[in-house]
Structure 1
Amino acid sequence: MAAKIEWTAMDYAAKDALAKIIDDSALAYRVIAERMGGVVSHVRVGYIHNGEKSPVRLSEFLAICDVCNADPVQTLRDIIAEARRIEAERAADEMADRIVANPDDFDVAASIDPHKRDEANTPRE
């Protein structure tokens, strides 16, 4: 049995970008596959569009960009930017989950200082 492939943020971003490219082309999966000369089957084009099975390979990415008249360089830049955004969002979510799970580990000194009221009322120089 084949090992399950773990998708990365880059894979999800590529899936979304290619789905948009395919949708914008208004071409059927079968037409896209035929225009690629059988390099990728229409079934695989559908899997790529829907994010099923394995992530898109570079050769598939380039072939789909070519057939759908998308600039592969700009598309790749967009994918990288989106993957970075996804990773940053995940990191923020993970930190929020850690704080919620262990709030005592993240106390702010001012909130537990027994003299905080006195210090708040102390005039500044």
Structure 2
Amino acid sequence: MTEQSPVLSKVTRQACDYASVKVIDALIRRSGYGNRAIDRLCDGTITYGRIRDIRNGLKAPVRLPEFLLICEVCNAGPIQTLRDIITEARRMELEQQTATKKPTGERLVVDEQARVAETLNKLRRGDLDFAAHEDEHKYDGDEDDPT
């Protein structure tokens, strides 16, 4: 789960970066402080704009000194918060892996021709069968012959 940041092409984000955004945002919300209050409590060490960027996952991921200061201001243990981030990152990676796995024999089909070709291949292999076009037990409304 590595991806380029839309803001800075030099920053490559990983699952732990996304998890830290989620956990730190929840930590700040639980503390009851807003971005401005965190700015004031940090004596401007972490500015309002930087706190906003951290919480929204913009620009660079959170740095260790910022992480420790946010934990201190929010009265949260940095070790437990780091464990929460690691747990969330593992969950996100597992979710990403299971989302990209496809059942054996199935492929993602993008265009119409590829879909038709895949259906014909399944039919030839015997993985697919047509339903009956006629049903001897189905009547068309008149009493003489079934459809």
- Please report the TM-score for the alignment, with normalisation by the length of structure 1: 0.73
> Which residue of the partner structure matches residue 59 of structure 2?
53
> Which residue of the partner structure matches residue 88 of structure 2?
82
- Please report the TM-score for the alignment, with normalisation by the length of structure 2: 0.63
- Aligned residue-pair number: 105
Quote how far apart the aligned CAs of 1:13 are. 0.5
Quote how far apart the aligned CAs of 1:28 are. 2.1
> Which residue of the partner structure matches residue 107 of structure 2?
100
Residue of 12, 21, 25 corresponding to 2:18: 12
Distance in 2 (alpha carbons) for counterparts of 1:6 and 1:64: 23
Deviations 1:45-88 (A, max 9, x none): 11111222221111111110100111110010011011111111
Q: RMSD in angstroms over aligned alpha carbons?
A: 2.5
> Which residue of the partner structure matches residue 135 of structure 2?
none
Quote how far apart the aligned CAs of 1:5 are. 1.2
1:65 aligned onto 2:71: yes
1:18 aligned partner, one-letter code: I
Residue of 25, 30, 37 corresponding to 2:31: 25
- Identity, in percent, stands at 40
2:90 aligned partner, one-letter code: R
Q: Which protein has the bigger helix share? A: 1
Q: Per chain length, whose mean CA-contact separation is higher, i.e. which structure has more relative contact order (CA < 8 Å, sep 6+)?
A: 1
Distance in 1 (alpha carbons) for counterparts of 2:81 and 2:47: 22
Distance in 1 (alpha carbons) for counterparts of 2:23 and 2:17: 10
For structure 2, which runs of at least 5 residues remain unmatched after alignment? Answer: 1-7, 110-117, 119-125, 128-147
Distance in 2 (alpha carbons) for counterparts of 1:88 and 1:75: 20
Residue of 18, 41, 44 corresponding to 1:35: 41
